[in-house]
Amino acid sequence: GRSNSTSKCPVSPSNLASLVPAPPSLRHFDHIDDDFPYDAETLTPNTRTFFRPGALMALQLCSFFAVVHVYTAAQESYTNNILKEMDPEGKMFETRVIHRDAFPQIVREGKDLRVGTENMQRAILFDDRQKNFRPQNYENGIVIEPFDSDKVVSCHHCWDAYLAEVKEMSRMVGIAFWSSVHFSGDVRKVVSWVRSWEEEGSKQS
């Protein structure tokens, strides 16, 4: 083969990388998180929150075929800041916004879905911490990969990282939709099947 030194159009790895556009900028906003120190006089924001790629679209899609609630271990002020940015018209999440200020047991005991509904056949919880599924004996929960500061950095520079987050959000929508239409009418059957299928896949990979 011809070497780069004799090629008419030499392309080094660095040149090639420069031809590929960076992923889209992550949507973000600055606000005050009162879990951390802040200036009460100037109210200068002390926190920057980034939205996961694909997350807003995923939640909007889920709201078309399901009743979507917010269930978070964050405090009320932080939750309200997020919702004002994410859902300013208040149409996406119906009426239930459950946070730790109203239900402090979330932190110690996990997220009890009976706070939002009595029908466990139709309730599914997506969370990045498996321990939060304890109140329903782990039968109603699907683990979502965490989105942390390292992934925020990676998504700014790497298409593989960016698309991996979109894929994870697509996975969530797919499971939610399948749960909503499954012939059994019981989301727990879908949860059990998804876990078995993904565990088998991880063993084979």
Predicted pLDDT at 13:
52
Report how far residue 201's alpha carbon sits from residue 205's, in angstroms, rounded to the nearest whole number.
6
Contact of 198 with 190, CB cutoff 8 Å: no
| pLDDT in 10s for each residue of the chain, 205 residues | 433 333 334 444 555 555 678 899 999 999 999 888 999 999 999 999 999 999 999 999 999 999 999 999 999 999 999 999 998 888 888 667 889 998 999 989 999 999 988 999 999 999 999 999 999 999 999 999 999 999 999 999 999 999 999 999 999 999 999 999 999 999 999 999 999 999 888 777 6
| Pair of tokens at residue 137 | 């004996």
- Give the residue among 50, 58, 17 at the shortest CA–CA distance from 156: 50
**Rounded to the nearest 5°, which phi and psi values hold at 5?**
-70, -25
**Rounded to the nearest 5°, which phi and psi values hold at 80?**
-65, -40
Report the DSSP pairing between strands 47-50 and 28-31.
Answer: antiparallel
